[in-house]
Amino acid sequence: MRDAILALLLEAGEKDISGEKICEQLGVTRAAVWKHIKALREDGFEIASATRRGYRLLSMPDHLEPALIRHAAGTREMGQAVQVYDSCDSTNLRAKEWAAQGAPNGALVLAETQTAGRGRLGRGWNSAKSQGLFMSVVLRPPFEAQRAPILTMLSAAAVSAALEEVCKVQAPIKWPNDVIVNGKKVCGILAEMSADMDNVQWVVMGIGINVGQRVEDFPEEIRDKATSLLIETGRSFQRSTLAGAVMRQMEQRYDQLMDAGEGAVVDYCRRHSATLGQEVLLVTREGSRKARAVDLADDGELIVENEQGQRERVVSGEVSVRGILGYV
């Protein structure tokens, strides 16, 4: 009921919505409406009320709110089914459990903090409470497992576009799964998949965006590599609004992928790449070697040129790509 009333207040925007209209739409009493309005105010929502005019939402706290995420997203599927945790071990773990139980395409799990957040290749992820956007999306693409890596690039493209839209920052992509602002990492993405012999059952896309951290909130050893939207812009951002923007951008690109293949996703990542044209270090279990990143293949794999002038493809799950002169 709380989320339903909040959704009506959001839909009304700057206009008043009467208590009578809320009662009619939700089939509840005026006393029940007042009870939930009071609870929303206690949670930090500023709601004006006036006799014979009704209620109007004036401002909101920076909570992870399913109703606000859905409103900001305006999507068909992505971010419509939502679970929010105050704290959990990992949103990816919770999303995988939900996926195994039948979560729909686009189901979204968020947490104010994670106790065991993880990044790519088993690395840890700093998850300070209420300072980041920690979320995982369940995707059910109807294709074979070999095509699944494109979903990481799709997610990176969605985050990049959402940051440019909401935060007005340039947010290029460090292939394959990081989003960069001013040369430092602001977002990391981790994909985990369940598949049978032929097709993907589900893919969970874990997305971590540094939103409100200050420099001192990062461990000293990563301060030259990591940043936040607050550090780079000097501004605070509503995390639910940002989550909704990511979901909207993700659905647009997911629909393109389903309708027309990888082309649009790869083209966006090519045009917004922080990696192409850079001297990079390719790190594998066997060692490391230098190369120059020159292009993205049609399926999203990185094409590099070695010191002998020979070109080869780099598969994201097998190689870590690092900048020679810095993080990018």
What pLDDT digit, counting tens, does each position of 143-202 carry?
999 999 999 999 999 999 999 999 999 999 999 999 999 999 999 999 999 998 889 999
Q: Whole-model pTM? A: 0.90
Instruction: Please choose, from the candidates 107, 6, 68, 86, the residue with its C-alpha nearest in 3D space to the C-alpha of residue 243.
Output: 68
Higher per-residue pLDDT: 52 or 156: 156
| Mean pLDDT, residues 70-92 taken together | 96
Q: Which CATH architecture is the domain 1-59 placed in?
A: Orthogonal Bundle (1.10)
Q: And the tokens for 292? A: 């120059």
- Phi (first) and psi of residue 184, to 5 degrees: -125, 155
Residue 284 clears pLDDT 90, i.e. is over it: no
The more confidently predicted of residues 161 and 319 is: 161
The whole-chain average pLDDT of the chain stands at 91
Residue 312 neighbours by CB distance under 10 Å? 12
Of 2-16, 73-87, 120-134, 218-232, which gets the smallest average pLDDT?
A: 120-134
156 within 8 A of 173, measured Cβ to Cβ? yes
C-alpha dihedral (291, 293, 294, 297), degrees to nearest 10:
110
Say yes or no: do domains 1-59 and 278-323 share a fold: no
pLDDT above 50 (res 308): yes
CATH architecture, domain 278-323: Roll (2.30)
Taking the C-alpha atoms of residue 177 and residue 253, their distance in angstroms, rounded to an integer, is 16
> How confident is residue 285, by pLDDT bands cut at 50, 70 and 90?
confident
What are the boundaries of each domain within the chain? 1-59, 66-272, 278-323
CA nearest to 151, candidates 239, 269, 281: 269
Look up residue 197 and give its DSSP letter.
S
Task: Tell me the sheet residues that pair with 193.
Answer: 203
What's the token pair of residue 139? 């995707």
Burial code (b: 16+ CB inside 10 Å, e: under 16) for 249-275 equals bbbbbbebbeeeebebbbebbbebbbb
Tokens of 289: 């070697």
Angle, helix 150-167 to helix 239-260, in steps of 10 degrees: 140
**pLDDT tens profile 200-257:** 999 999 999 999 999 999 999 999 999 999 999 999 999 999 999 999 999 999 999 9
Share of the chain above pLDDT 70, in %: 94
Across the strands, what pairs with 114? 88
- For residue 126, pLDDT over 70 is answered with no
What's residue 51's pLDDT?
Answer: 82
66-272 in CATH: which number? 3.30.930.10
Query: What is the structure's pLDDT at 123?
Result: 52
For residue 213, how many C-alpha atoms fall within 13 Å in the half-sphere facing its CB? 23
Nearest to 229 by CA among 275, 241, 57: 241
Please state the rounded mean pLDDT for residues 280-304: 91
> Which one-letter DSSP state was computed for residue 121?
G
Say what the pLDDT of residue 13 is. Answer: 87
Amino acid at 74: G
Q: What is the DSSP string of 26-95?
A: HT--HHHHHHHHHHHHHTT-EEEEETTTEEEEEE--S---HHHHHHHH--SSTTTSEEEEEEES-HHHHH
- Given pLDDT bands bounded at 50, 70 and 90, which one contains residue 23? very high
Would the pLDDT of 18 be above 70?
yes
Q: So what's the pLDDT on residue 189?
A: 96
Distance CA(233)–CA(161), nearest Å, equals: 16
Distance CA 91, CA 171 (A): 24
Q: Which of 2-11, 71-80, 233-242 has the lowest mean pLDDT?
A: 2-11
What pLDDT is attached to residue 127? 59
- Confidence label for 121 from pLDDT (cuts 50, 70 and 90): very low
Parallel, antiparallel or unpaired: strands 54-59 and 46-50 = antiparallel
* Structure confidence at residue 53 (pLDDT): 87
- Sheet containing 302-306, strands listed edge to edge, beginning at the edge strand earlier in sequence: 311-314, 302-306, 287-296, 279-284, 320-323
Check the CA dihedral 97-99-104-106 and report its sign: positive
Report how far residue 263's alpha carbon sits from residue 298's, in angstroms, rounded to the nearest whole number: 7
Q: Is the pLDDT of residue 326 over 90?
A: no
> Helix, strand or coil for residue 21?
helix
